[in-house]
Amino acid sequence: MGFIGYQSGRQGTDETVRIYMGCQEDAASHEPLRSGRGTVSYGYAVDVVFPGGEAPCRLRGVDDILMLKKFYKVVFSLEERAREHGHEFRVVFASPQRLLEHLGYTRNARTFEAGEEPQLRLGASQDFAERECVGGA
């Protein structure tokens, strides 16, 4: 079963939360992560960038419709977790800390530490590009 992963970081004055979607774990891998789990691969990644560490945020990595659809499912899930915990749905993207808090509420999510980043699954992002419509008739 797939899961989402996430990791926080800083690039200059910007704080970034990277969300890995479509993660899969290969328990038989010969390259275990420090946590003892097998190698993890992902299909798509989106960076939620908070300029200066504050809202409003901007997105990086939403390059096609399929990616947008997958990211929307994650956003919808985060908003549901917010309501379950008595928060208004808008707080999810109020700050990097709030986003990380709500990602932590998600049942099928894992946090990745530095050095544990999952690997892009070969062909994952190219699959859609091959089916994408090019030009109109």
Task: List per-residue pLDDT tens for the chain, 137 residues long.
Answer: 589 999 999 989 999 999 999 999 876 544 444 445 568 999 999 999 999 999 999 999 998 898 899 999 999 999 999 999 999 988 999 999 999 999 999 888 999 988 888 999 876 554 444 434 344 43
Total domain count, the chain: 1
Q: Does residue 129 lie within any of the structural domains?
A: no
42: Cβ contacts below 8 Å, ≥ 6 apart: 5, 20, 21, 22, 23, 24, 118, 119, 120, 121, 124
- Best CA proximity match to 18, nearest among 82, 124, 85, 110: 110
Task: Please report whether residue 137 resides in a domain.
Answer: no
Flag whether 102 is in a domain: yes
Residue 117 located in a structural domain: no
Residue 134 lies in a domain: no
CA 5 – CA 111 distance, rounded (Å): 6
- What integer pLDDT is reported at residue 133 of this predicted model? 39
Residue 130 falls within a domain, yes or no? no
**Looking at the domain assignment, is residue 66 inside a domain?**
yes
Which tokens in the block code for residue 7?
């990791």
Q: Provide the H-helix boundaries in 27-123.
A: 65-84, 96-105
- Which residue segment(s) compose the domain that 76 sits in? 3-111
Indicate whether 136 belongs to any domain.
no
